[in-house]
Chains A and B, each alone.
Chain A
Amino acid sequence: MRATAADRVQSSTTTYLVCAAAWAVPGAGHLWLGRRQKGIIFLIALILMFLAGLWLEGRLFPFEPSQPLVALAAFADVGIGIPFFVAKAMHAGSGRVVAITYEYGNAFMMVAGLLNMLVVLDAFDIAQGRK
């Protein structure tokens, strides 16, 4: 049986490249390491969750150091990687505070970003041969 990339311990440079890819595109780290089923599920589920947040009129928060809670929300939002920047470039995610789904939209986008951070840590562990 041929060993997949995940079965070998990766060099530290490759490990960090895998983590960067996993952050930029949800599931890309797992796909890189040969965990195709997990990678595809993360790719679909996390991007759909982020898009649901945009559809629910949530807000992509700006990095505002003077408002720590807003900065933390922005940190969570950016965890989803490239989709965050694409949405920003398309002027999506401006948020409509009076929408009944506004808070849900925020929760969907922030949790999608935070879950992607967990996925990055999982990819790191796989690349290090711990899983």
Chain B
Amino acid sequence: MTSHLGLMALFALFVSIVFATLTRDDPREQVRFGAKLFAAFVGAGIVAGWVLYPLPF
């Protein structure tokens, strides 16, 4: 659980839940938007990780 990927996913989960609850009123919309946000956060984190991978510093 304390791997970088696991902690990043946990962080993304908390932020997605709060943002989705803040910005949507209908529970079904909240779940849908929260899932999209979570996927976007984790996907962007993985892409950024691979983009930065070749950098020597």
Contacts and interface: CB of A to CB of B under 8 A. Distances in A.
Interface of A: 37-38, 41-42, 45-46, 48-49, 52, 56, 100-101, 104, 107-108, 111-112, 115, 118-119, 122
Contacts, number: 39
Contact of B22 (A56, A108, A118): A118
Summarize B's interface: helix, strand, loop or mixed. Answer: helix
B15 A42 contact: no
B7 A119 contact: no
B17 interface: yes
A108 B11 CA distance: 7
22 contacts: A38-B21, A38-B22, A42-B21, A45-B14, A45-B17, A45-B18, A45-B21, A46-B14, A46-B18, A52-B10, A56-B2, A104-B11, A108-B11, A108-B14, A111-B11, A111-B14, A111-B15, A112-B14, A118-B18, A118-B22, A119-B18, A119-B22
Nearest to A37: B27
Contacts of B27: 37
Interface of B: 2, 7, 10-11, 14-15, 17-18, 21-22, 27
